[in-house]
Amino acid sequence: MGVDVIVGGFFGDEGKGKIIAYHSLKVNAKIGVRAGGGPNAGHTVVKDGVTYRLRLIPSSFVNPASRLFISPGVLVDPDVLLSEVSALDVEGRIVVDGKAGLIESRHIERDRSSEFLSKNISTTGTGTGPAMEERVGRRLRLCSEDPRLSNMIGDTVESIHEELEAGGKVLAEGTQGTFLSLYHGTYPYVTSKDVTASAVCSDIGVGPKTVDEVMVVFKSYVTRVGNGPLRDELSEEELQARGWVERGTVTGRPRRAAPFDFDLAKKSVRLNGATCCAITKIDALFPSAKGVRSFSALPQEAKLFSEKVSSELGIRVAYMGTGPDLLDIVEPPTSTG
Ligand code: GTP
Ligand code: IMP
Ligand code: MG
């Protein structure tokens, strides 16, 4: 067994949190390791009626057998991390790599006071971009230097390779989305690093040959928070009428939205080397799919949509999301892909 990588296929907020949580239980991941940005991410996981909003803790926390790692590629805001650790009661399971970068209050201030970042780019204001600038400038302090994190610090890269050698499954959790990538996205309206599957491997310290599956998560429509192009963007009235109104998990800003974009999805499959995909919010397109948990019980239009995605993209649809709960998932039979 090797590494499964899960990444966002559009502009973030595709529902990776829920898909990662489900997958970690399904493959019994021994390690869930957070790659990607920092606390600019906001994953939502709904389990047993409780809604968890995670910014740094891996969504694999739902699997009690999973060790939870934060990789060297991630930027950590200790205030955010410590409050999540105590809210989720995961102390003892969490290891922060000593080489992960530290976000300090001056980064947050700079993110919010810079006219360019806050107004033109419309960043999340979490200090992630300014801290990344310092990391590239080789001045950023690392997590190993913060006494508040001392009991969580370890070498996650070494532990991942030991687990892989022992035959365990490692689940690498990406954040944001492919078109927010610094290199492959809609520059300059992007985040401060590459966030495609190759970058996820680099963040956690494994080579591409260790990867078993690359799963790209799409939502049944495209959303985007902040500035930047969005093809076929719908008006606010149209979003209300379609029931596609969403707000950002971190910033509370309304999410812009457009219909599912097959061209963008195809590019995403290429950029990530996807072996399979997940499509969330099928229930937003086909209300009678809500809460359905078996492929045979899905409305015919939902089955046809999944088949169309699979044939257009040339990959298997592994999961279809039918509601916010972790278990509101359908696994299409492999013959449809
Ligand atoms: P980032 O890491 O910020 O990119 O976020 P994310 O990809 O983890 O997604 P986020 O949780 O920010 O947004 C997805 C939203 O859709 C959340 O409110 C989820 O609860 C919800 N959601 C996920 N899957 C489904 C689904 O299949 N159906 C419905 N109705 N809601 C879903
Ligand atoms: P930053 O990552 O805070 O610098 O923000 C840069 C751009 O990426 C802005 O348009 C943000 O709205 C967007 N962004 C960053 N993280 C996320 C995310 O997790 N979900 C959706 N958009 C994000
Ligand atoms: Mg989000």
pLDDT band at residue 335 using 50, 70 and 90 as cut-offs = low
Torsion sign (Cα): 202, 326, 285, 310: positive
- Domains of the chain, residue spans: 3-336
* DSSP label of 138: T
CA 124 to ligand 2: nearest atom = 3
Closest among 2, 44, 48, 55 to 27, alpha carbons compared: 2
Beta strands (DSSP E) in the chain are: 3-8, 31-34, 43-47, 50-54, 67-70, 75-76, 94-97, 101-102, 153-154, 170-173, 211-219, 221-224, 256-259, 276-280, 316-321, 329-330
Relative to the alpha carbon of 15, which ligand is closest? 1
Closest among 229, 227, 190, 198 to 214, alpha carbons compared: 198
Amino acid at 256: R
- CB within 8 A of 89, min separation 6: which ones? none
13 classed as catalytic:
yes
226 lines ligand 2 (CB under 6 A): yes
43 classed as catalytic:
yes
Is residue 62 a contact partner of residue 47, using CB atoms and an 8 Å limit?
A: yes
Is residue 319 a contact partner of residue 278, using CB atoms and an 8 Å limit?
A: yes
CA–centroid distance, 282 to ligand 1, in Å, is 12
Tens of pLDDT, residue by residue over 282-312, are 999 999 999 999 999 999 999 999 999 999 9
> What's the pTM value of the predicted model, to 2 decimals?
0.98
Q: What is the CB < 6 Å shell around ligand 1?
A: 8, 12-18, 41-44, 46, 175-177, 249, 280-281, 283-284, 321-324, 328
CB atoms within 10 A of CB 229: 10
Amino acid at 162: E
If you average pLDDT over residues 184-205, what whole number do you get? 98
Indicate if the pLDDT at residue 257 is higher than 60: yes
What is the structure's pLDDT at 336?
A: 45
Tens of pLDDT, residue by residue over 145-163, are 999 999 999 999 999 999 9
If you average pLDDT over residues 213-218, what whole number do you get? 98
pLDDT band at residue 334 using 50, 70 and 90 as cut-offs = confident
Is residue 102 a contact partner of residue 91, using CB atoms and an 8 Å limit?
A: no
- CB within 8 A of 213, min separation 6: which ones? 4, 5, 275, 276
Tens of pLDDT, residue by residue over 14-33, are 999 999 999 999 999 999 99
What is the structure's pLDDT at 337?
A: 44
Main-chain dihedrals φ then ψ at residue 145, nearest 5 degrees: -95, 0
Task: Identify the CATH homologous superfamily for domain 3-336.
Answer: Adenylosuccinate Synthetase, subunit A, domain 1 (3.40.440.10)
Is residue 300 a contact partner of residue 311, using CB atoms and an 8 Å limit?
A: no
CA–centroid distance, 281 to ligand 1, in Å, is 8
Relative to the alpha carbon of 180, which ligand is closest? 2
Main-chain dihedrals φ then ψ at residue 254, nearest 5 degrees: -65, 145
Q: How is residue 275 written in tokens?
A: 């072996």
Q: How is residue 29 written in tokens?
A: 């991941």
Main-chain dihedrals φ then ψ at residue 3, nearest 5 degrees: -100, 135
Main-chain dihedrals φ then ψ at residue 126, nearest 5 degrees: -100, 5
